[in-house]
Chain A
Amino acid sequence: MNVAVLHLLAALLLAPLFPGVINRVKARFAGRQGAPLFQLYFDLAKLLKKGAVFSTTSTWLFRAGSAGVLATSLAALVFVPAWGCPSLIHFQGDFILFAYLLGLGRFLTMLAALDTGSAFEGMGASREAFFSALAEPALLLGLAVLAGFSHSLSLQGIYLSIPGVPLPALFFLLVAFGIIFLAENARIPVDDPNTHLELTMIHEVMVLDHSGPDLALIEYAGALRLWATGLLVVGLLPIRTELPLLDLADAIFLLFAWAVVVGVVESSMARLRINRVPLLLGVAFVLSVLSLFWRVK
């Protein structure tokens, strides 16, 4: 229990470092010095001090959106275990609640985007809705397969018994979850957070009209989501130490290693054409299906 609280505190404090690491890796690949690792902390502090500009078109839904997104990200974080380190709350079936909490956050972001009446934000919302509808079955199927192996329906139980899962199945799921991670968090090759053209964005374009504290809440919620979904990926490595505290430290270390991997992936490939993204998510789904065969045997 105490370790779980520690994990939550670590996540709340360290999550904004995650995008910092990715960006630093990308900068190094591009031969640049890059922004400081703690850039997001500076940004958040600055944004929280600022006032806000609201679109005249927007309503209370736009204002509720940022708070709602943060609330759902925080709630989802509570259910994620860091390796063998237990999660704060767990019950049978909480992996479904986890996926649906992220879904609620997305839904509120989409409504806030549509609330501005901007064609760009509408386009972003449309793409986000479509791609997440494709990613959701792949994620839940993957988790269901793992649940079958571990004989538990909670994320904590599932991730505790990862070492017992056959390696080929784990490998397929690692790739599948990696793709889902990139889609869920709007990274290359699904979406480019640094593109200069609104027309090609997905997630960033949805928050074009958010400013000041609202933007800070959304950016922070995004960092927490990176943390939570990142743990789903690195938790698939079949090593556990039996010591929750050590597991927590290992998981956090690996999480940042995963950030480096994401940075490398983002540096080494371009964003996919929008109409190719469903194929990539299809690959994730097929890999989840493939991992199922080791359960049948």
Chain B
Amino acid sequence: MQANLPIPWLLLAALLLYPITGIAGLLAKRKSNWGRWLFPAGAIGAAVLGMVPVCRVLATGVPIDLQLPWTLPVGSFHLGLDPLSAWFAIPVLLVSALSALYGTGYMRSSEGRSGIGLHRLCFQLLAGGMLLVLLARDGFLFLMAWEIMSMAAFFLVVFDHEEDSVRKAGWIYLAATHLGTAFLFALFILMAVTTGSTDLSPAQFAAAPFAGIAFILAIIGFGSKAGFFGLHVWLPEAHPAAPSHVSGLMSGVMIKTGIYGILRILMLYTDWQAWWGWLLLGIGIVSGLGGVLFALLQHDLKRILAYHSVENIGIIALGMGVGVLGSTEQLPLVALLGFSGALLHVLNHALFKTALFMGAGSVVHACGTRQIEQMGGLAKKMPFTAALSTVAAIAICGLPPLNGFASEFLIYSAAGQGLLHGETLTPLLFAVLSIVALAAIGGLACFCFAKVIGIVFLGEPRSTQAAQAHEVEPIMISPLFLIVAACIGLGLFSFLLVPILGNIAATLTPGRISEPSFTLIPYLVPIGVVGIGLWLLLGATVLLRRRFLRGKIKSSAPTWDCGYSQPSARMQYTGSSFVQPLQSTFEPLLKTTIEGQPPQGIFPEPTELETETPDPVMARGYEPLFRRAADLFGRFRAIQNGRVQLYVAYIAVVLLAVLLWSVR
């Protein structure tokens, strides 16, 4: 224990470095170099400090437990770092550091503004809050950390609060996060009441009653943060509104704390029921398909990416659902593969989604708009951003040889094992459902990212801003480059993570799997080997092509447009036309509004076309609901009329009533 002593202190140092550098950033002069560089330095320093204990816990599997003095009457300052927390801490630490680095460049033009100090503070608080959420081993502390994280994210989202749409997005986020937190309060009160303490150690939950209710509360409370379809409405609002490094951190990492919460609850209540698995599987399928379908129909680059977060959270939930079902069906291999796939996808999505948001941020920075119909041809103006974003897009589509494929392959394999070893209907059913859902999600994701890359980066510029775009500065490219390199590396060498994944999955399904790391190897090693082979083959075909072209005449000409020699940028396919076949086929589901007149007459006047696909849950669920609630509560306006005398009278009446009630 003596030798281990510095390790927990490194963790605490990382945890404290965030608020300290944040406050220093708040106090620093707006345009000072000091304030500018303290911002990434704090996050990078915390990542360096924090990765030591995280790696140690992951490598050894021995958790860190830390009980510190606490002066509040409830709860305790109980911190812990087990492999599950440590796994989620990797994206928190690393992505925060890289996002801060990117943000330094991204925010340069905003440095004179009054909110910059608060922005720097809240960014560090968000990162530190997420870390504390993962470390908290006490319900009360957990909720405090949760609120620090959620509120910091709110202030980050409303950085451009002069814009109406940003304020609206901020309110939607705030309402969503607090509604979610309300369920979490209920959950933690239930847990405290049934176990008799606010401590979150597994021992106390062995036979805790109301596990089903706790699970439902966790699904709603944590699911609203994770962005399960139905509870996702804040994502497509908040992610576009926030500065891009914040969107990346929120979408790539913060929503994963919801997944972490559900996994933690699964770890505490070990008496799983089959319907938990079916629920997670159903949520996964609906979120995955819903997310990608609505992503396809959007025109706002960051909104598209926000919907893809819903999709990927769906894939993660699907993996977890298969894991739970495998466990309840006594199919340990299915459980192991399902959970490992979900966990690996958590890390993978954190990487490629952050990369895509960084790429999108650079594009938005260069074009001054988020509308993809105004973009085009950026691959020539911004070659590095374009190339790196393209690789990240291939990764998010789950295509080999990148990391997205590795994690999806694990979930596919889990379903496949269900097919092979299930003697009853249940394994067959969940296996077939997951394979079909994953295939459909994958195909539609390819559709969507062909649109994103094709319309944004390829072709000819569709607006003057896009034509005049420039590549962003190196400080915004280098974090993107590092993340994409990680995506490529993880696509090949994810088998190195096998012992860690097996360990965590085994702690989730206690006592069910012997030799977890050994059983995972036959699934991830071939992916790595074939991946390397595919890269070599790709290199070989590129050389072959060069060889064939050597010494030949290579000439340039305008794009062939059926003999028309003056094609203009406006004649290109647009994002809306690209998805039109899908839109018309799934019209009853998507309810896209199309407004506009086709050109008429021999000499047609200019005309316009407008298509919009509103979020179905928002437009047909929450908006009417909240409007009705506002109407209802509006009736009580009469008693709040601003006269102080009347308010004093209310107080007097209430006091009198309380007095009468107590002497009764």
Residues of A within 8 A of B (CB): 48, 50-61, 63-64, 66-68, 70-72, 74-75, 89, 91-94, 96-97, 99-101, 103-104, 106-107, 110-111, 113-123, 125-127, 129-130, 132-137, 139-141, 144-145, 147-148, 151-153, 198, 208-209, 212-214, 216-217, 274-275, 278, 292, 295-296
Contact A137 to B537, CB < 8 A, known contacts A53-B557, A153-B420: no
Q: How far is the CA of A70 from the CA of B444 in the complex (A)?
A: 23
B552 to A126, Cβ gap below 8 A?
no
With CB as the reference atom, state the residue of chain B lying closest to A108. Answer: B394
| Of the residues A74, A111, A137, A198, contact of B458 by C-beta under 8 Å | A111
B435 to A144, Cβ gap below 8 A?
yes
A115 to B458, Cβ gap below 8 A?
yes
B435 to A141, Cβ gap below 8 A?
yes
Contact A213 to B545, CB < 8 A, known contacts A93-B412, A118-B559: yes
What would be 20 A-B contacts, judged by CB atoms less than 8 Å apart?
Answer: A52-B555, A54-B556, A57-B460, A75-B534, A91-B522, A93-B416, A97-B527, A99-B439, A104-B399, A115-B454, A119-B561, A119-B573, A130-B582, A137-B439, A141-B439, A148-B431, A151-B420, A212-B549, A274-B581, A278-B585
Query: Which 9 A-B pairs rank lowest in CB-CB distance, beginning with the nearest?
Result: A122-B573, A114-B454, A133-B443, A117-B459, A51-B553, A213-B548, A51-B552, A129-B447, A136-B443
Does B562 lie at the interface of the complex (its beta carbon under 8 Å from any beta carbon of A)? yes
Chain B residues contacting A208 (CB-CB under 8 Å) are: 560
| Of the residues B442, B451, B527, B552, contact of A52 by C-beta under 8 Å | B552
Nearest chain A CB to B392's CB is how many angstroms away?
13
B552 to A212, Cβ gap below 8 A?
yes
Chain A residues contacting B412 (CB-CB under 8 Å) are: 93, 96
Nearest chain A CB to B576's CB is how many angstroms away?
10
A153 to B416, Cβ gap below 8 A?
yes
Q: How far is the CA of A126 from the CA of B70 in the complex (A)?
A: 60
- Other contacts beyond A123-B573, A148-B431: 5, CB < 8 A: A52-B553, A57-B558, A117-B458, A126-B581, A148-B428
Nearest chain A CB to B278's CB is how many angstroms away?
18
B541 to A136, Cβ gap below 8 A?
no
Nearest chain B CB to A107's CB is how many angstroms away?
5
B579 to A147, Cβ gap below 8 A?
no
Chain B residues contacting A117 (CB-CB under 8 Å) are: 376-377, 458-460, 559, 567, 569, 572
Q: How far is the CA of A253 from the CA of B91 in the complex (A)?
A: 53
Contact A275 to B548, CB < 8 A, known contacts A54-B556, A110-B454, A147-B419: no
Chain B residues contacting A113 (CB-CB under 8 Å) are: 454
With CB as the reference atom, state the residue of chain A lying closest to B449. Answer: A107
| Of the residues A57, A104, A125, A140, contact of B454 by C-beta under 8 Å | A125
With CB as the reference atom, state the residue of chain B lying closest to A132. Answer: B443
Chain A residues contacting B541 (CB-CB under 8 Å) are: 67-68, 70-71, 74, 217
B581 to A130, Cβ gap below 8 A?
yes
Q: Give chain A's interface secondary structure class.
A: helix
Chain B residues contacting A152 (CB-CB under 8 Å) are: 420
Nearest chain B CB to A15's CB is how many angstroms away?
16
Nearest chain A CB to B498's CB is how many angstroms away?
15
A55 to B442, Cβ gap below 8 A?
no
| Of the residues A127, A132, A140, contact of B446 by C-beta under 8 Å | A132
With CB as the reference atom, state the residue of chain A lying closest to B380. Answer: A59
Contact A122 to B577, CB < 8 A, known contacts A53-B555, A140-B435: yes
Chain B residues contacting A67 (CB-CB under 8 Å) are: 538, 541-542, 544-545
Chain A residues contacting B562 (CB-CB under 8 Å) are: 120, 198
Contact A103 to B399, CB < 8 A, known contacts A110-B454, A133-B444: yes
A53 to B556, Cβ gap below 8 A?
yes
Nearest chain A CB to B336's CB is how many angstroms away?
14
Q: How far is the CA of A292 from the CA of B379 in the complex (A)?
A: 46
A57 to B459, Cβ gap below 8 A?
yes
B530 to A125, Cβ gap below 8 A?
no
Q: How far is the CA of A6 from the CA of B450 in the complex (A)?
A: 37
With CB as the reference atom, state the residue of chain A lying closest to B462. Answer: A117
Q: How far is the CA of A114 from the CA of B376 in the complex (A)?
A: 10
B400 to A66, Cβ gap below 8 A?
no
Q: How far is the CA of A100 from the CA of B438 in the complex (A)?
A: 11
Does B526 lie at the interface of the complex (its beta carbon under 8 Å from any beta carbon of A)? yes
| Of the residues A58, A136, A217, contact of B439 by C-beta under 8 Å | A136
| Of the residues A107, A119, A130, contact of B572 by C-beta under 8 Å | A119
Q: How far is the CA of A56 from the CA of B413 in the complex (A)?
A: 44
A110 to B443, Cβ gap below 8 A?
no
Does B241 lie at the interface of the complex (its beta carbon under 8 Å from any beta carbon of A)? no
Chain A residues contacting B390 (CB-CB under 8 Å) are: 61, 111
A104 to B416, Cβ gap below 8 A?
no
Chain B residues contacting A92 (CB-CB under 8 Å) are: 413, 416, 522-523, 526
Does B273 lie at the interface of the complex (its beta carbon under 8 Å from any beta carbon of A)? no
Chain B residues contacting A212 (CB-CB under 8 Å) are: 548-549, 552
A118 to B446, Cβ gap below 8 A?
no
B446 to A129, Cβ gap below 8 A?
yes
Chain B residues contacting A99 (CB-CB under 8 Å) are: 439
With CB as the reference atom, state the residue of chain A lying closest to B579. Answer: A126
Nearest chain B CB to A69's CB is how many angstroms away?
9
Mask, B168-204, CB within 8 Å of A = 1, is 0000000000000000000000000000000000000
A213 to B552, Cβ gap below 8 A?
yes
Interface residues of B in 444-483 (CB under 8 A from A): 444, 446-447, 449-451, 453-455, 458-460
| Of the residues B398, B458, B581, contact of A61 by C-beta under 8 Å | B458
B560 to A55, Cβ gap below 8 A?
yes
| Of the residues A97, A123, A147, A151, contact of B409 by C-beta under 8 Å | A97
| Of the residues A66, A111, A295, contact of B545 by C-beta under 8 Å | A66
Mask, B564-602, CB within 8 Å of A = 1, is 000101011100011111101100000000000000000
Does B397 lie at the interface of the complex (its beta carbon under 8 Å from any beta carbon of A)? yes
Chain B residues contacting A130 (CB-CB under 8 Å) are: 447, 581-582, 585
B572 to A122, Cβ gap below 8 A?
yes
Does B432 lie at the interface of the complex (its beta carbon under 8 Å from any beta carbon of A)? yes
A107 to B446, Cβ gap below 8 A?
yes
Q: How far is the CA of A50 from the CA of B555 in the complex (A)?
A: 12
Q: How far is the CA of A212 from the CA of B548 in the complex (A)?
A: 9
Nearest chain A CB to B277's CB is how many angstroms away?
19
Nearest chain A CB to B510's CB is how many angstroms away?
26
Does B533 lie at the interface of the complex (its beta carbon under 8 Å from any beta carbon of A)? yes
Chain B residues contacting A141 (CB-CB under 8 Å) are: 432, 435-436, 439
With CB as the reference atom, state the residue of chain B lying closest to A64. Answer: B542
Chain B residues contacting A75 (CB-CB under 8 Å) are: 530, 533-534, 537
Nearest chain A CB to B435's CB is how many angstroms away?
5
Q: How far is the CA of A114 from the CA of B560 in the complex (A)?
A: 13
Mask, B508-545, CB within 8 Å of A = 1, is 00000000000000110011001001100110111011
| Of the residues A94, A101, A214, contact of B526 by C-beta under 8 Å | A94
A89 to B530, Cβ gap below 8 A?
yes
Nearest chain A CB to B40's CB is how many angstroms away?
31
B548 to A48, Cβ gap below 8 A?
yes
Interface residues of B in 379-410 (CB under 8 A from A): 379-380, 383, 386-387, 390, 394, 397-400, 405, 409
Q: How far is the CA of A290 from the CA of B386 in the complex (A)?
A: 44
B526 to A144, Cβ gap below 8 A?
no
With CB as the reference atom, state the residue of chain A lying closest to B558. Answer: A56
Q: How far is the CA of A67 from the CA of B534 in the complex (A)?
A: 12
B409 to A96, Cβ gap below 8 A?
yes
Q: How far is the CA of A198 from the CA of B416 in the complex (A)?
A: 41
With CB as the reference atom, state the residue of chain B lying closest to A106. Answer: B446
Does B554 lie at the interface of the complex (its beta carbon under 8 Å from any beta carbon of A)? yes
Does B440 lie at the interface of the complex (its beta carbon under 8 Å from any beta carbon of A)? yes
A129 to B450, Cβ gap below 8 A?
yes
